Amino acid sequence: MRYERPSTMKEATNLLAKEKGAAYVLAGGTDLLVRLRTGFIEPDLVVDIKKIAATRTIQPSAGGFKIGASVSGAELGENAKVKKAWPGVVEAVNLIGSKQVQGRCTMVGNLCNASPAADAVPALVAAAAKAVIVGPKGKRTIPVEQVPTAPGRTSLKKGEIIESIVLPKRPPRSGDAYLRFIPRTEMDIAVVGVGISITLDAKGVCKAARVSLGAVAPTVLLVPEAAKALIGTKMDKAALDKLAAACSAACRPIDDKRGTRDFRIKVAGVLARRAAQIARKRAGGK
């Protein structure tokens, strides 16, 4: 196995594009190294992207933020500006693992590992975040929900690397939140995760919303019906009931040892209702 640590995106994409065997990007390694050590994967090439300057910074971008692909969860949590604008995204990323894991893990690794239960992903989808992808044929930008295509699979082509995640500009009176259910108090995989982002008008009426569910389908879901239940309302009980029903209806979960299908369907509605109330409060709703 070759380990490479290039300092430019061009070198990194060339290395990956030219490799004939199994090639992997290494960010924090908190998924990759576990899979490697358990023999689940046998890489011929590992390309560590942490030395590439473009992946290491958090920059302002068109009123929002461009967050480099190797910025760790802990670094993101220490960024007061991102935390203020997108508290739901930051709380989702900071839920990953433990203090030790936080020092290494990245939200792009969470996205590219393509687990249906990944914690950062529903919050990123709700935030309308975009992934900036660099590959042998140049740069392209896609909505984050188009990255995972199935458990453990992504839409990235050979040689492509996600360089950064773009969080859009936040209109005034906006708020977001992420909640998950786990059987333990921490260090567990989400049974259900819900990300919600909303914007209110001056009268407290919800004028924009995005709702996303994790761990209830093969990939994280964007649920437009759930957003519709909130838009045009003051997010009162009737609207929250509709939101919960739309979230439950969108679920296509499996039964496993962490939760049954019926439990996941029910909990998706319960968490959506709670996350919406937190997002509304953060948006300044009374």
Ligand X SMILES: Cc1cc2nc3c(=O)[nH]c(=O)nc-3n(C[C@H](O)[C@H](O)[C@H](O)COP(=O)(O)OP(=O)(O)OC[C@H]3O[C@@H](n4cnc5c(N)ncnc54)[C@H](O)[C@@H]3O)c2cc1C
- Binding residues for ligand X (CB under 6 A): 24-32, 34, 49, 69, 95-97, 101, 104-106, 108-110, 112-113, 118-119, 156, 161-162, 187
Contacts of 167 (CB under 8 A, 6+ apart): 64, 65, 67, 82, 85, 86, 89, 127, 129
Which residue lies nearer to ligand X by CB, 101 or 231? 101
Smallest distance from ligand X to CB 162, Å = 4
**Distance of alpha carbon 280 from alpha carbon 117, whole angstroms:** 24
**Distance of alpha carbon 137 from alpha carbon 160, whole angstroms:** 9
Q: Which alpha helices (DSSP H) does the chain contain, by range?
A: 9-18, 32-37, 73-77, 80-85, 87-94, 99-102, 107-112, 120-126, 224-230, 237-250, 261-282
Which residue lies nearer to ligand X by CB, 164 or 197? 164
At position 258, the amino acid (one-letter code) is R
Residue nearest to ligand X (CB): 109
Relative to beta strand 148-150, strand 138-143 is unpaired
Contacts of 182 (CB under 8 A, 6+ apart): 188, 189, 190, 191, 258
Smallest distance from ligand X to CB 260, Å = 21
Q: Closest Cα to residue 258, out of 185, 171, 196, 184?
A: 184
Which residue lies nearer to ligand X by CB, 136 or 224? 136
Smallest distance from ligand X to CB 219, Å = 14
Smallest distance from ligand X to CB 38, Å = 11
Contacts of 20 (CB under 8 A, 6+ apart): 44
Smallest distance from ligand X to CB 67, Å = 11
DSSP state of 159: T
Smallest distance from ligand X to CB 138, Å = 16
Smallest distance from ligand X to CB 151, Å = 12
The tokens describing 83, both together, are: 């935390």
Which residue lies nearer to ligand X by CB, 76 or 250? 76
Contact (Cβ atoms closer than 8 angstroms) between residue 220 and residue 122 = yes
Which residue lies nearer to ligand X by CB, 47 or 246? 47
Which residue lies nearer to ligand X by CB, 30 or 199? 30
Which residue lies nearer to ligand X by CB, 133 or 235? 133
